Amino acid sequence: MSELPGIVITGASGRMGQMLVKTVLASGKARLVGCVERAGNPWVGLDVGQAMGGAALGVTVTDDPLEAFAKAQAVIDFTAPAATAEFAALAAQARAVHVIGTTGLEAEHHARIDAAARHAVVVQAGNMGLGINLLVGLTRKVAQALDADWDVEVIEAHHRMKVDAPSGTALMLGQAAAEGRGVSLQEARVSGRDGITGARERGTIGFSAIRGGDIVGEHDVLFAGDGERIILRHVATDRGIFARGALRAALWGQGQKPGRYDMMDVLGL
Ligand SMILES: NC(=O)C1=CN([C@@H]2O[C@H](COP(=O)(O)OP(=O)(O)OC[C@H]3O[C@@H](n4cnc5c(N)ncnc54)[C@H](OP(=O)(O)O)[C@@H]3O)[C@@H](O)[C@H]2O)C=CC1
Ligand SMILES: O=C(O)C1=N[C@H](C(=O)O)C[C@H](O)C1
């Protein structure tokens, strides 16, 4: 019988990194073969199990991503945009599937990910959970059915440590609404109103972000008409949903052709 796919987790000491370590170990479907952190992170050089407060796992956290990726069939990466763009090239060099959960990616990062995806499998999504990916489809459908008399607002709430806004998920939902309407999100997007904003411009898609406490992730897509409102809502209560989705993507990616994929591909939606 062939060995289970080997997984490397980048940003292993982070909120998602630790959840991913636990998820891979519990899955019985993959092996944890490496953990990466940046140079200077206090976990570098420690056994990841002990760093997490448990028993040794025989996996030492390294600050050398290429050495770690060379042993892996997949890299699961929930870190920061600049790091992810670097990891994309290294994962492609190692021919490992690169699963990207990092949000806040800008055009320059996407260009580097696209370049890597010419040589290796990349799965990238602002949200790896099943529920949100279903909600994306519903949002597109509802937006398609309604005209611009219905104002679209995406409202998201996250924990106090989140560094990017709007969330990657909010942007996925906004993109789905724009596609449903047949407009460009770049042109329709309005974020963070403050002061004398003037009346709402017809056809725009608004974004509002709340940050506080330990909120895992909450997203509403509001369609506000005259005399009625439709609210599509998703509430995440456990980061395990993102980690399980990412692991599923890493397994799905084995044997796929090089290219760029998202969770819709993985989930068959
Ligand atoms: N797509 C999805 O489903 C989801 C996406 N996310 C996204 O995942 C990302 C991480 O979130 P979260 O875990 O909460 O954040 P954390 O800040 O808790 O973790 C990020 C980790 O990445 C590490 N890191 C940063 N730069 C590097 C580098 N160059 N090399 C190695 N490690 C690095 C950080 O190390 P250090 O502490 O030393 O900086 C930290 O350990 C965010 O972009 C978030 O939005 C989160 C949940 C779900
Ligand atoms: O930073 C987070 O925590 C999350 N980030 C993702 C996003 O930006 O949408 C996904 C999830 O909502 C949690």
- Which CATH number belongs to the domain containing residue 49 in this structure? 3.40.50.720
Tokens 């084995």 identify what position? 254
33 and 118: one domain? yes
The pLDDT score that the predictor gives to residue 144 is 98
Domain count across the chain: 2
The pLDDT score that the predictor gives to residue 106 is 98
The pLDDT score that the predictor gives to residue 199 is 98
Whole-number Å distance, alpha carbon 167 to ligand 2 midpoint, is: 6
107 and 180: one domain? no
Residue 152: domain span: 130-236
Q: Is residue 72 part of a domain?
A: yes
Q: Where are the beta strands (DSSP E) in the chain?
A: 6-10, 31-36, 61-62, 74-77, 97-100, 121-124, 151-158, 189-191, 205-211, 217-224, 229-236, 259-261
175 and 219: one domain? yes
221 and 260: one domain? no
For the stretch 45-72, pLDDT in tens is: 999 999 999 999 999 999 999 999 999 9
Q: Which of 98, 109, 158, 234 is catalytic?
A: 158
Dihedral angle at the C-alpha atoms of 252, 256, 262, 263, nearest 10 degrees?
Answer: -20
Kindly state the average pLDDT of the residues 25-46. 98
What is the rounded distance in angstroms from the CA atom of residue 130 to the CA atom of residue 139? 14
Report which ligand 1 atom has the smallest distance to the Cα of 81. 43
The pLDDT score that the predictor gives to residue 52 is 98
Please list every protein residue whose CB sits less than 6 Å from any atom of ligand 2: 103, 126-127, 158, 162, 167-169, 217
For the stretch 164-211, pLDDT in tens is: 999 999 999 999 999 999 999 999 999 989 999 999 999 999 999 999
pLDDT at 154 over 60: yes
Q: Is residue 1 part of a domain?
A: no
Tell me the pLDDT of the chain averaged across its residues.
Answer: 97
Report which ligand 1 atom has the smallest distance to the Cα of 167. 45
84 and 117: one domain? yes
85 and 11: one domain? yes
Q: Is residue 49 part of a domain?
A: yes
228 and 145: one domain? yes
Q: Is residue 56 part of a domain?
A: yes
| CA distances to 137, 141, 192, 204, 226 from 181, in Å | 13, 9, 22, 11, 18
pLDDT at 122 over 80: yes
Q: Is residue 143 part of a domain?
A: yes
37 and 71: one domain? yes
The pLDDT score that the predictor gives to residue 196 is 98
Give the closest residue (by CA) to ligand 1 atom 36. Answer: 41
CATH classification of the domain holding 163: 3.30.360.10
Q: Percent of the chain at pLDDT above 90?
A: 99
76 and 138: one domain? no
Q: What is the DSSP string of 28-94?
A: SS-EEEEEE--TT-TTTTSBHHHHTTS---S-BEES-HHHHHTT-SEEEE-S-HHHHHHHHHHHHHT
Q: Does ligand 1 lie within 6 Å of residue 125's CB atom?
A: yes
The pLDDT score that the predictor gives to residue 269 is 92
pTM over 0.95: yes
pLDDT at 2 over 80: no
Nearest to 221 by CA among 160, 135, 103: 135
- ipTM surpasses cut 0.95: yes
Q: Is residue 152 part of a domain?
A: yes
76 and 166: one domain? no
The pLDDT score that the predictor gives to residue 79 is 98
pLDDT at 1 over 90: no
Task: Tell me the ligand closest to 68's alpha carbon.
Answer: 1
245 and 113: one domain? yes
Q: Judge whether 102 is annotated as a binding position.
A: yes
Q: Is residue 230 part of a domain?
A: yes
Q: Is residue 165 part of a domain?
A: yes
176 and 215: one domain? yes
